[in-house]
Structure 1
Amino acid sequence: MSFTTISTPDAPAAVGAYSQGRRIGPFLQVCGQVATDPATGDVLDADVAGQTRRALEQVGTILAADGAGWQDVLMVRVHLARDEDFEAMDAAYREVVSEPFPPRTTVTVVLAPGALVEVDALAVRP
């Protein structure tokens, strides 16, 4: 099966061996997004709520680059640096993603220096 690589200058460029997104058939996987300051390319100096909003905005930009939106998202994965940030992340998530919410998995992991949250999404396009 063939695939399409999704790339947009409106989201942070890949800093390793990965693509911003890839579509195979109707499935569009957006890579994990760490909140990035567009002026510097560095991890955004913000609390978990600010980083969550920015990471979700970046996911949304990549979805839009393939003509998709949050309404097409089947699954979201959130990686948190600290368990105690769950409530603040969840509140910020609700500001960006509308009901009905897609299924979501949230886990605590070690992230890049300065990153408090990383978000990826799987969308299904008609």
Structure 2
Amino acid sequence: METVYTPNAPEPLGPYSQAKKVGDLVFISGQIGIDPKTGKLVEGGVAAETKQVMTNLGEILKAAGKSWDDVAKATCLLKHIDDFSAFNAIYGEYVTSKPARSTFAATIPAGAMVEVELIVG
């Protein structure tokens, strides 16, 4: 098992890694809309946070030697399920291969409105 890390994505908020690589699989921890340069949640609501989440995930994918086309499963958390359409519009710009996915309404750390984790093959 190998730890995947990039300074181009936020530092974890707790005792976990950005991602773990096990064989050909990569398990990417849930990412929220933290700008890795400032260490703070981006402002601008669900659209801005979703864009930052997807940017963060993209950087971790690169660090793991993977791409969006390799994503097998996404788990998506939204503070407000009513943001589903706005979230999907941005998510769909990045994840065009249509992996399996679950989306839930949840309370997310740091007051975030969006969190996404990935399983990558």
Q: Which has the higher helix share?
A: 2
Q: How does 1:59-98 map to 2 (within 5 A)?
A: 59-98=57-96
| CA distance in 2: counterparts of 1:25 and 1:37, whole angstroms | 29
Larger radius of gyration: 1
Query: What is the match of residue 18 of structure 2?
Result: 20
Q: CA deviation at 1:38?
A: 3.2
TM-score (norm 1): 0.91
Q: How does 1:95-114 map to 2 (within 5 A)?
A: 95-98=93-96, 100-114=97-111
Q: Which moved more, 1:109-118 or 1:26-35?
A: 109-118
Q: CA deviation at 1:60?
A: 1.1
The size of the alignment, in residue pairs, is 121
| CA distance in 2: counterparts of 1:22 and 1:46, whole angstroms | 30
Query: What is the match of residue 54 of structure 1?
Result: 52
Paired residues of 1:50 and 1:92 also in contact (CA < 8 A): no
Paired residues of 2:108 and 2:114 also in contact (CA < 8 A): yes
| CA distance in 1: counterparts of 2:76 and 2:112, whole angstroms | 12
Q: Percent identity?
A: 36
The CA RMSD over aligned residues, in Å, is: 1.1
TM-score (norm 2): 0.94
| CA distance in 1: counterparts of 2:76 and 2:113, whole angstroms | 10
Q: Which moved more, 1:76-85 or 1:47-56?
A: 47-56
Structure 1: 4+ residue segments shifted above 4 A? none
Structure 1, unmatched stretches of 5+, are: none
